[in-house]
């Protein structure tokens, strides 16, 4: 039994599905054949949906989810970085300044940019099938969409280091115990749980909610500026190195990488 997911994923040709449920906007990445990885079309779809959430005064909260087996595998490497939008930045969400709460509903894995999308949300609901990871180092690159500073902000420092340095994921249960996941659900029920959490938000005064969210999030604004600076410096240090090219090539060719440290 998969809760709300079969109805939400009805149109397989719609890469990002948008559905209104009262004052809540449900945004579903629907590219399961590519593990919901983000290319130009998916980024534009997320961006348009979150623009609607930002601009429509009748909407008070949003839920961002994937499909019933996967949340998001991050960047589609064949997109070559072409997934940045004007208002949202990477994936249409990573650099977005929002005033309305956005809840991630996670089934299956949220890896790389998928975890970074979840980190860009305000709360996370995950089913016991979920897992979270930053596997970039396993292919010679690094988490360039805020994972290197948002993970230490949302998780214990040593756990954030483990994710970034080993490339291995953690379970939903461990993410919940660490305080990153707000609510843990049965398989297929994360969207239902996220809607329940959104309903609690929407029961409150909209302006008070928005100002509270902005006050909390603005405290991290200076930290984020420094985080981007350090991330860009790290990325520039490894970009176009032999290991960078080998890692991406080995991933696309589905073979083990051969590292040289150059």
Active-site amino acid positions: 116, 136
Q: What is the pLDDT of residues 184-239, one digit of tens each?
A: 999 999 999 999 999 999 999 999 999 999 999 998 888 889 999 999 999 999 99
Q: What is the pTM of this model?
A: 0.93
- Backbone φ and ψ of 231, nearest 5°: -65, -45
Note the helical H segments in 56-189. 113-120, 147-154, 157-166, 172-177
Q: Which domain holds residue 167?
A: 5-185
Residue 66 lies in a domain: yes
What is the CATH number for 96? 3.90.226.10
Residue 260 lies in a domain: no
- The answer to whether position 197 is within a domain reads no
Q: Burial of 257 by CB count in 10 Å (0-12 exposed, 13-18 middle, 19+ buried)?
A: middle
Q: Is 221 domain-assigned?
A: no
Our count of domains for the chain comes to 1
CA neighbours closer than 13 Å in the CB half-sphere of residue 253 = 10
C-alpha dihedral, 105 to 88 to 47 to 78, nearest 10°? -90
- pLDDT tens-digit readout, 20-74: 999 999 999 999 999 999 999 999 999 999 999 999 999 999 999 999 999 999 9
């Amino acid at each position: 039994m998969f809760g709300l997911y079969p109805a939400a994923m009805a149109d397989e040709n719609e890469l990002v599905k948008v559905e209104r449920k009262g004052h809540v906007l449900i945004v579903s990445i629907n590219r399961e054949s590519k593990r919901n990885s983000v290319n130009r079309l998916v980024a534009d779809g997320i961006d348009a949906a979150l623009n609607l959430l930002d601009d429509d005064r009748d909407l008070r909260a949003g839920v961002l989810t994937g499909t019933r087996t996967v949340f998001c595998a991050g960047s589609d490497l064949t997109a070559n970085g072409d997934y940045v939008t004007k208002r949202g930045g990477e994936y249409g969400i990573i650099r977005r300044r929002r005033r309305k709460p956005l809840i991630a509903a996670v089934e299956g894995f949220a890896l790389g940019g998928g975890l970074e999308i979840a980190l860009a949300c305000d709360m996370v609901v995950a089913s016991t099938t979920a897992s979270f990871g930053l596997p970039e180092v396993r292919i010679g690159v690094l988490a360039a969409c805020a994972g290197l500073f948002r993970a230490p902000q949302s998780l214990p420092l040593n756990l954030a280091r483990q994710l970034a340095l080993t490339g291995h994921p953690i379970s939903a249960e461990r993410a919940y115990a660490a305080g990153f996941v707000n609510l843990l659900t049965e398989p297929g029920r994360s969207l239902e749980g996220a809607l329940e959490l959104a309903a609690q938000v929407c029961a409150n005064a909209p302006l008070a909610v928005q100002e509270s969210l902005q006050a909390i999030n603005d405290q991290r604004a200076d930290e984020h500026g420094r985080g981007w600076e350090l991330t860009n410096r790290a990325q520039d240090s490894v970009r176009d190195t032999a290991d960078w090219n080998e890692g991406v090539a080995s991933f696309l060719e589905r073979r083990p990488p051969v590292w040289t440290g150059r």
